[in-house]
A = this chain, B = another copy of it.
Amino acid sequence: MAKDKKLVTEITSMDEDFAQWYTDICKKAELIEYTSVKGCMVIRPYGYAIWENIQRILDTTFKETGHENVCMPMFIPESLLQKEKDHVEGFAPEVAWVTHGGNEKLEDRLCVRPTSETLFCEHYSNIIHSYRDLPKLYNQWVSVVRWEKTTRPFLRSREFLWQEGHTIHATAEEAIEETERMLNVYADFCEKSLAMPVVKGKKTESDKFAGAVSTYAIEALMHDGKALQAGTSHYFGDGFAKAFGIEYTDKENKRVNPHQTSWGVTTRLIGAVIMTHGDNSGLVLPPAVAPVQVVIVPIAQHKEGVLDKANELLERLKKAGVRVKLDDTDNSPGWKFAEYEMKGVPLRVEIGPRDIEENKCIIASRWNGEKADFSLDELESAVAQKLQEAHDGMYNKALENRRNRTYACTTIDEINKALEEKGDGFIKAMWCGDEACEDEVKEKTGVGSRCIPFEQEHLSDVCVCCGKPAKHMVYWGKAY
């Protein structure tokens, strides 16, 4: 058993090698397994169950905000992809091409969707005729393919799961409002369900989605000080509508182009959860998306009454709506402790003969390692309270990490000094709005622009790079 325990918990320390620590967790917590398809992975039951929870919560919110799910084909004919110039330039170099169906060569080759704007546009052009047909608020849960050179589980893979929202509106105002609404939905979800603080902002011109007028994003800071783009929301204006000939008859009987948006989050969010909350014992899951929120571990389970009592607690917590599991296998308690720590189960309830005698149990919290006794009479309320504490504690811890790793700088030298002395993090610095300066900052410091945050601060009058008048405060960082 001692050997088994060691095997389970043997992962690389995050301080030693953060990338290897990350990969170790993906494998040892049984989130993924590699395959012979380069850059693609198996999402194992425990990993997929996290995604199912993310889906359930987001899908409910999408429906509450008036969206309907649809399903588009996974293929896009090359001729269709080429209709919007910026879009095809951005995506064509990284798509997978289907050239043969069975033994026959295709006349128009098909790409496996890297994103579905072109398919939605074709569909809109078929079904939208009058102002009465607007808006359409659509979403789909599918996988997409982008032929990346270097890949990492969840963070960057050739195939990944996502949802892509696509909406079309009568006016630009409505479409912009939708773009912002969905960015807020994502930010709320990250904070309330993933316990992960995010910065909301606008991408610079160079970092926009291919074909968008403007791209909004939420940016999170990982434990190692690197930034991760956790979700994006795009406003397209009427560019796609013009390229695809989508028109409607307005109330004055004029033919007008409608305005579009799209927005998406991916299985990358699971990678964000690992790198925001994980520690050297493994995964730490936010209660809202944890497949198992509470694991009951019986102590001296062979003793009379222990398993009966453990089963009683199981039923009580199930009834209270908690996702709970009882581990009554013959592994030792120590082995079980290590396993569920690796898997990031938020709470562990220990119950043994002495606890039963004293009508109590021990509740251990994964996120901070604290253990405390609770009367069995108050089991349900204690668990609810501890789960809430876990969420709040994890959120505050992540926020604290971000605060400690956010550096306001007014010169290139200050940026380099901050990164060198304090390690990677968010740099806050002013910018003139010139792409040349953006490139120069990246070249001289290694950090790229992450976003122009909605919450602006005035750090200085001039650009951190060229000294000309500043237009925005920008968050900069090294990115996943």
Contacts and interface: CB of A to CB of B under 8 A. Distances in A.
A100 interface: yes
Q: How many copies altogether?
A: 2
A76 B36 CA distance: 8
Contacts of A92: 102
A334 interface: no
A243 interface: no
Nearest to A52: B69
Interface string A37-51: 100111111001101
Contacts of A142: 143
B123 A159 contact: no
A70 interface: yes
Contacts of A110: 37, 96
A73 B112 contact: no
Interface core residue of A43, A49, A52 (most chain B CB under 10 Å) = A43
A386 to B, nearest CB: 26
A70 B42 contact: yes
Nearest to A123: B42
A72 B123 contact: no
A138 interface: yes
Contacts of A43: 70-71
Contact of A102 (B37, B79, B147): B147
Interface residues of A, number: 54
A377 to B, nearest CB: 31
A254 B93 CA distance: 51
A119 interface: yes
Interface in A63-84: 68-77, 79-80
Given A33-B126, A68-B45, A112-B112, A40 B73 contact: yes
A94 interface: yes
A145 interface: yes
A395 to B, nearest CB: 28
Nearest to A110: B37
B98 A112 contact: yes
Given A69-B48, A71-B43, A94 B98 contact: no
A255 to B, nearest CB: 22
Interface string A87-101: 000001111111111
Contact of A96 (B70, B101, B147): B101
Contacts of A79: 36
Contacts of A36: 77, 79-80, 122
A127 interface: yes
A292 to B, nearest CB: 12
Given A48-B70, A52-B69, 19 more contacts: A34-B126, A35-B73, A35-B122, A35-B123, A36-B122, A37-B73, A37-B77, A40-B74, A42-B73, A71-B161, A74-B74, A74-B143, A75-B159, A92-B102, A93-B102, A95-B101, A95-B102, A96-B98, A99-B100
